[in-house]
Amino acid sequence: MATTSQTNVTLDTIVSLAKRRGFIFQSSEIYGGLNGCWDYGPLGVELLRNIKESWWRAMTYRDDIEGIDAAILMHPRVWEASGHVQSFSDPMIDNKISKKRYRADHLIEGEIEKLRKKGRTEQADALEAKLNAASDPAEFYQIIIEHQIQDPETGQAEWTEVRQFNLMFKTYIGPLEESSSAVYLRPETAQGIFVNFTNVLQSSRQKVPFGIAQIGKSFRNEINTKNFLFRTREFEQMEMQFFVKPGEDAKWYDYWREQRWNWFRDLGMQMERLRMKPHEKLAHYARAAVDIEYQFPFGWGELEGIHNRSDFDLGRHTEYSGKKLEYFDQVANERYTPFVIETAVGASRSTMAFLCDAYAEEEVKGEKRNVLRFHPKLAPYKVAVFPLVNKDGMPEFATKLHGDLQRSFKAFYDDSGAVGRRYRRQDEIGTPFCVTIDGQTLEDGTVTVRDRDTMQQERIPAEGVGGYVGQRIA
């Protein structure tokens, strides 16, 4: 009998496991690492790929959503139209003594959290109201000074004034670094969808309502990166923009809220660790917005945003490009600029969330077992094959079975050490099924299949293993 305990799992535990088992490595580690950048190892790249594949199937294997892959580099006017050049910035503040740099709003949020932990709810609520009302650097600075907020690392409270810091990475096209050749690494993937609205509409012969989805890298020059994969400077997004007739936006907003919640549920995420959090302060273009948040070891954090963006985006690109981004309804004989319902989820953050959610520590017959209970669709390896011993024809049988399975699934072969230890190694990387070839296999052609979660074993014909694994994954 196994006893499960996840309540005291720390972020350090997840980071350590991720490195040890080949999920995530610090970028450029042999040179001391590059802050806010991470590399996906052999298992991490499989987990990430499986998450993206699951999202892509859920979003585009239907008649009303098309996929694209827009360029990372775009015309600079795109970012002027979207507002990123003018307002895609964070309030930055420096400690004069420690030289530490922080986002001013994060400092205030930290103070609110401290007040709540101390039971000073009214003060926390009042401070939160001030934060929600603040919109310019001077207001953030006034709050920090008025409440004597200290540096969370040093306890010092000598602050510079708050300055706005644009988060876009700038680079140059061509041989000269001059303003006329400046371009930006995209800070989000959505704009590539908006500027291709007419192209996709005409080439796919879609009709409103319909959506455009894409998966791709985005880049943000964050003031402070933190919490492993949660806030990084290079990350991957999975976004879908759904174009609807004005007046039908509320209906489709509710629809996509439910669909996106169900995606996490259907992939086995623990529902008590998920919540919907409506935005208290809407962007000027938004009619409604909600975040799906996950309870990470460091606290609640956003996984996905679902937004009713009105007709802001297509309207702005129409204004700046001079090209009308409209839809003509031939049946109703009317022309309009569609409203947009956006679903935007971080592939990198989802990888981290699924890692945290799957991790469990158990005691089995007095021994510790670490296990990653990934949904089989997400597990990096679907099945592992073991010869019980390296003799009597078992390795040859196991090698052939492994090769057969590898044609359909990511499979692992392991003939090193006791079978119990091999089970534990596969448990810790989340492999849902282990197949053992033993003496009886050579007599009757049956093998033992062991389930990761229940640790129960059953005997089935070797030729049925592929069908068994495929059915259990599905």
What is the rounded CA–CA span in Å between residue 238 and residue 397?
Answer: 42
Final residue in a domain of this structure, among 138, 166, 194: 166
User: 247 and 319: one domain?
Assistant: yes
User: 244 and 390: one domain?
Assistant: no
Q: Residue 124 in 3-state DSSP? A: helix
* Residue 154 belongs to domain with CATH number: 3.30.40.230
Please state whether 428 falls in left (phi above 0), alpha (psi between -120 and 50) or beta: alpha
User: 194 and 282: one domain?
Assistant: yes
Closest-CA residue to 103 (of 34, 149, 147, 146): 149
Instruction: Examine residue 47 and state whether it is found in any structural domain, yes or no.
Output: yes
Q: What is the 3-state secondary structure (H, E, C) of 302-348?
A: EEEEEEECCCHHHHHHHHHHCCCCCEEECCCCEEECCEEEEEEEEHH
User: 104 and 68: one domain?
Assistant: no
Question: Which band of pLDDT confidence, cut at 50, 70 and 90, is reported for residue 165?
Answer: confident
Final residue in a domain of this structure, among 308, 324, 357: 357
User: 337 and 440: one domain?
Assistant: no
Tell me the mean pLDDT in the region 427-434.
98
Q: How many CB atoms lie within 10 A of CB 399?
A: 15
Domain count, the chain: 3
Using the predicted structure, report yes or no on whether residue 287 has a pLDDT greater than 70.
yes
Instruction: Examine residue 417 and state whether it is found in any structural domain, yes or no.
Output: yes
Q: How many CB atoms lie within 10 A of CB 423?
A: 20
User: 18 and 122: one domain?
Assistant: no
Give me the amino acid identity at 41.
Answer: G
User: 283 and 319: one domain?
Assistant: yes
Token code pair at residue 127: 């401070």
Using the predicted structure, report yes or no on whether residue 5 has a pLDDT greater than 70.
no
What is the rounded CA–CA span in Å between residue 132 and residue 108?
Answer: 11
Using the predicted structure, report yes or no on whether residue 103 has a pLDDT greater than 90.
no
Give me the amino acid identity at 392.
Answer: D
Radius of gyration from C-alpha coordinates of the chain: 26
pLDDT digits (tens, 9 = 90+) for 192-227: 999 999 999 999 999 999 999 999 999 999 877 889
User: 206 and 308: one domain?
Assistant: yes
* Residue 16 belongs to domain with CATH number: 3.30.930.10
Instruction: Examine residue 262 and state whether it is found in any structural domain, yes or no.
Output: yes
Question: Which band of pLDDT confidence, cut at 50, 70 and 90, is reported for residue 232?
Answer: very high
Q: Residue 240 in 3-state DSSP? A: strand
Using the predicted structure, report yes or no on whether residue 87 has a pLDDT greater than 80.
no
What is the model's pLDDT at position 2? 56
232 half-sphere exposure, CB direction, 13 A CA radius: 21
User: What percentage of residues in the chain have a pLDDT greater than 90?
Assistant: 82
- The end-to-end CA distance of the chain, in Å, is 27
Instruction: Examine residue 84 and state whether it is found in any structural domain, yes or no.
Output: no
- Model-level pTM? 0.88
Using the predicted structure, report yes or no on whether residue 190 has a pLDDT greater than 80.
yes
Q: Which H or E run contains 80?
A: helix 76-82
Strand partners, 346: 237
* Residue 430 belongs to domain with CATH number: 3.40.50.800
Instruction: Examine residue 369 and state whether it is found in any structural domain, yes or no.
Output: no
What is the model's pLDDT at position 3? 52
Tell me the mean pLDDT in the region 342-355.
97
User: 187 and 156: one domain?
Assistant: no
Please state whether 293 falls in left (phi above 0), alpha (psi between -120 and 50) or beta: beta
Instruction: Examine residue 123 and state whether it is found in any structural domain, yes or no.
Output: yes
User: 348 and 446: one domain?
Assistant: no
Question: Which band of pLDDT confidence, cut at 50, 70 and 90, is reported for residue 294?
Answer: very high
Instruction: Examine residue 353 and state whether it is found in any structural domain, yes or no.
Output: yes
Using the predicted structure, report yes or no on whether residue 132 has a pLDDT greater than 90.
no
What is the rounded CA–CA span in Å between residue 151 and residue 155?
Answer: 5
Question: Which band of pLDDT confidence, cut at 50, 70 and 90, is reported for residue 112?
Answer: very high
Instruction: Examine residue 177 and state whether it is found in any structural domain, yes or no.
Output: no
User: 268 and 323: one domain?
Assistant: yes
User: 241 and 333: one domain?
Assistant: yes
Give me the amino acid identity at 462.
Answer: A
Final residue in a domain of this structure, among 139, 166, 193: 166
Domain that holds residue 427: 381-473
Q: Which residues contact 154 (CB under 8 A, 6 or more apart)?
A: 95, 97, 98, 100
What are the angstrom distances between the C-alpha of 385 and each of 147, 176, 374, 449, 468?
61, 57, 19, 9, 14
